[in-house]
C-alpha cells in the first residue's frame, strides 16, 4: 500500500504525519513537532542514560494554604523555595523567600526536603524549564512547581545543570512541557530525560570550563552595576546636593511637627519625615513639575476581555515594562486591538516621560522615557508627562524622578491602600525639583547616557560570554 503524503502546500511545521511505531507515551502533536528531531539527531552520536538511572531520588513538594499557620518568619522557619527564588547562577536571596514552620517541614513536607547539591527544575508555569542547584547548607523545602533530583555519586550535579542549560538541554525540556494554559511536566517525564554518559573526569572538565566563563560574566556584570550605581552620586554632585547620612537611631526617628504642617494633610510620620527638602538644598532653584510640563495624562485600564492573545496588537505599557533602572523592556507584554477607538493622546511619543503612579510602596514612582518612536499605549497605572523643552530637558526630568524613587521620596509621600501605593496627579504636579539651566541639564543627561551605554555594553558582553559558553559546552559533550 502506497504511503500517504500530505499536499505540498501544507505548512510542515504545523501539519505532519507520525507513524504509529514512532509514538512514545504521549500522543499530542506538540511532542512530535519536527523542530524536536534535533534532539534524537544529536544524542544518537553518544551514549546516554535516562535521568532515573543516574539519580537516587526524584521528587517535588506541595504548597501549604496561603496565609495559613504553616508559614512563619525567617528566624523561626525553614526556607520554602519556589522557582522564582533561585537563579541560573544558583543564587538564592533568602530575604525574599517564604518560610514554613519546622513542624510542617518535618511533617507533611518531610518527603520534599532538599539538600545541598540537589538539582532543581521548574516543572509548572511561566518559569517551566528553569534549572538550578541548591548550593546551601541550610535546610530547605520546595513547592509542587519544582522537581528536585538527587544524583548518584558518579554524576556531578553541576554537570547535569550545565547540560540542561545548553540549547539541546532546553530543547529537551521544551519538548516535554505541555502547551496548555498552565504548562507542566510530570516527574515521570523528567525521569526519562537522556543524560550523556561520560566519565566523571570529563564532567569536571566541562564544569571547570563553564564556571570560568561564569566568573568572566559576573565580572562584566559587576562593572556594569558599578557604573549604574554611580549615576545617582554623579547627578546629586552636579546639582550640589549632599544627602545626609541615614541614621535609624531612636533619637532620629522620634520627631515633632507643627499642627500647621499637618492640617488638612496626612498624619502618618512617614509622610512628614520625607527627605524631599534635601533635594532642594543644592545650587539651583526648584520648580514644580507642573511648571515645566505641557501636559499630564493617565492611561486607561484594559482587562483580559479587552486584550488580544498574540503579538498582533499594540503594546500597552504597564509597570512591568519599566525595569529598576527606568528603562523600558518588552519581555512580557500586554497587547490591545488595532482599531480606531484611540485618541492621539492615548499614544506615547519620543521624549514622553512615563511615571508609574501605582505600584507597591517600594516601586511606586519608577519612571521611563521613550527614546525611539513606536506605537505604544499606556495603562491607568502610568502617567504620561509631556515636558516643555523650552524650560527642561526630558532626559534630565526622567533622571531626577528616578533619583527621587531610589531615595524613597515616593515611598514616603505615596498613599497606601489594599497592598497598593499611589502618587496622585495633584501631588505629582506640585512636586518640586531642582532645575539648572538647559545647558547644564543637557550636560548631565548626556554624561549619564554615556554611563548607561557603557553599562549596557558590559551587560551585553556578559550575555554573549554565557551564550558562547553554552555552545562550547554542548560541543564538548557531543564531540
Residue-by-residue DSSP string for 227-244: HHHHHHHHHHHHTT--PP
**243-280+285-435 has which fold?**
Adenine-n6-DNA-methyltransferase TaqI; Chain A, domain 2 (3.90.220)
Q: Which of 289, 398, 314 is nearest to 350 (CA)?
A: 398
pLDDT tens profile 426-438: 999 999 999 999 9
Instruction: List the end-to-end C-alpha distance of the chain, in Å, as a whole number.
Output: 41
Place of cell 531626577: 400
Residues in contact with 434: Cβ distance below 8 Å, sequence separation at least 6, in sequence order: 239, 241, 279, 280, 282, 283, 284, 285, 286, 400
Between β-strands 113-114 and 140-142, what pairing exists: parallel, antiparallel or unpaired? antiparallel
**Which residues, including other chains, have CB under 8 Å from residue 385's CB and lie 6 or more apart?**
289, 293, 295, 296, 352, 353, 354, 355, 397
pLDDT 10s digits, 33-53: 889 999 999 999 999 999 999
What is the distance of C-alpha 369 from the center of its chain? 19
Residue 64 binned pLDDT confidence (cut-offs 50, 70, 90):
confident
User: Among all chains, which residue has been given the C-alpha cell 554524576?
Assistant: 155
Q: Could you read off the pLDDT of 178-211 as tens digits, one per residue? A: 877 788 999 999 999 999 999 999 999 999 999 9
| Domain-wise residue ranges, the chain | 22-197, 199-240+441-479, 243-280+285-435
Band (pLDDT 50/70/90 cuts) for residue 269 is very low
The SS3 assignment for 127 reads coil
Q: How confident is the model at residue 67 (pLDDT cuts 50, 70, 90)?
A: low
**pLDDT-wise least confident of 74-78, 122-126, 267-271:** 267-271
Please check whether residue 334 is in contact with residue 361, taking contact to mean a CB–CB distance below 8 angstroms.
no
Residue 168, pLDDT > 60, answer yes
Q: Is the pLDDT of residue 264 over 50?
A: no
Mean predicted confidence (pLDDT) in 155-166: 97
Q: Over 70: is that where the pLDDT of 251 sits?
A: no
pTM: 0.77
Angstrom distance (rounded) from CA 117 to CA 70 = 26
Alpha-carbon distance of 427 to 358, in angstroms, equals 13
**CA 279, CA 239: separation in Å to the nearest integer?**
9
The Cα 372–Cα 224 span in angstroms is 23
CA-derived radius of gyration, the chain: 27
Q: Which CATH architecture has domain 22-197?
A: Alpha-Beta Complex (3.90)
pLDDT band at 32 (very low <50, low <70, confident <90, very high): confident
Q: Give per-residue pLDDT as tens, 77-126.
A: 999 999 889 988 888 988 889 999 999 999 999 999 999 999 999 999 88
The Cα–Cα gap between 156 and 201 comes to 10
Amino acid at each position: 500500500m502506497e504511503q500517504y503524503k500530505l499536499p505540498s502546500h501544507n505548512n510542515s511545521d504545523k501539519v505532519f504525519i507520525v507513524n504509529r511505531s514512532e509514538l512514545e507515551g504521549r500522543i499530542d502533536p506538540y511532542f512530535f513537532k519536527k523542530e524536536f528531531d534535533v534532539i534524537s539527531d544529536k544524542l544518537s552520536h553518544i551514549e546516554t542514560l535516562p535521568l532515573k538511572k543516574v539519580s537516587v531520588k526524584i521528587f517535588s513538594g506541595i504548597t501549604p494554604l496561603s496565609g495559613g499557620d504553616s508559614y512563619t518568619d525567617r528566624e523561626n522557619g525553614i526556607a520554602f523555595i519556589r522557582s522564582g527564588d533561585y537563579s541560573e547562577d544558583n543564587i538564592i536571596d533568602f530575604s525574599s523567600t517564604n518560610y514554613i514552620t519546622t513542624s510542617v517541614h518535618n511533617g507533611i513536607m518531610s518527603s520534599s526536603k532538599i539538600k545541598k547539591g540537589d538539582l532543581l527544575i521548574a516543572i509548572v508555569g511561566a518559569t517551566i524549564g528553569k534549572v538550578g542547584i541548591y548550593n546551601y547548607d541550610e535546610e530547605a523545602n520546595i513547592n509542587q512547581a519544582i522537581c528536585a533530583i538527587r544524583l548518584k555519586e558518579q554524576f556531578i550535579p553541576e554537570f547535569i545543570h550545565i547540560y540542561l542549560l545548553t540549547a539541546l538541554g532546553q530543547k529537551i525540556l521544551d519538548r516535554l512541557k505541555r502547551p496548555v494554559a498552565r504548562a507542566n511536566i510530570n516527574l515521570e517525564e523528567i525521569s526519562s530525560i537522556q543524560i550523556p554518559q561520560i566519565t566523571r573526569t570529563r564532567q569536571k572538565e566541562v564544569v571547570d570550563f563553564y564556571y570560568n566563563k561564569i566568573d568572566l560574566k559576573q565580572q562584566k556584570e559587576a562593572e556594569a552595576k558599578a557604573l549604574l550605581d554611580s549615576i545617582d552620586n554623579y547627578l546629586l554632585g552636579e546639582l550640589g546636593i549632599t544627602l545626609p547620612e541615614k541614621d535609624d537611631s531612636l533619637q532620629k526617628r522620634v520627631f515633632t511637627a507643627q499642627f500647621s504642617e499637618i492640617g488638612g494633610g496626612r498624619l502618618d510620620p512617614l509622610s512628614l519625615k520625607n527627605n524631599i527638602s534635601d533635594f532642594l538644598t543644592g545650587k539651583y532653584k526648584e520648580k514644580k513639575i507642573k511648571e515645566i510640563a505641557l501636559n499630564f495624562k493617565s492611561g486607561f485600564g484594559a482587562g483580559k476581555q479587552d486584550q488580544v492573545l498574540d503579538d498582533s496588537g499594540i503594546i500597552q505599557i504597564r509597570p512591568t515594562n519599566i525595569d529598576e533602572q527606568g528603562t523600558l523592556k518588552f519581555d512580557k507584554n500586554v497587547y490591545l486591538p488595532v482599531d480606531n477607538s484611540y485618541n492621539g493622546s492615548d499614544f506615547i511619543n519620543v521624549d514622553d516621560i512615563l511615571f508609574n503612579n501605582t505600584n507597591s510602596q517600594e516601586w511606586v514612582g519608577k519612571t521611563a522615557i521613550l527614546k525611539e518612536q513606536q506605537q505604544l499605549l499606556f495603562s491607568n497605572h502610568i502617567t504620561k508627562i509631556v515636558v516643555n523643552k523650552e524650560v527642561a530637558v526630558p532626559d534630565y526630568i526622567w533622571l531626577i524622578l528616578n533619583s527621587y524613587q531610589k531615595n524613597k521620596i515616593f515611598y514616603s509621600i505615596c498613599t497606601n491602600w489594599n497592598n497598593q501605593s499611589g502618587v496622585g496627579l495633584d501631588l505629582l504636579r506640585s512636586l518640586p525639583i531642582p532645575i539648572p539651566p538647559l545647558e547644564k541639564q543637557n550636560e548631565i543627561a548626556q554624561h549619564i547616557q554615556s554611563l548607561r551605554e557603557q553599562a549596557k555594553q558590559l551587560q551585553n558582553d556578559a550575555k554573549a560570554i554565557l551564550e558562547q559558553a553554552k555552545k562550547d559546552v554542548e560541543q564538548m559533550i557531543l564531540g
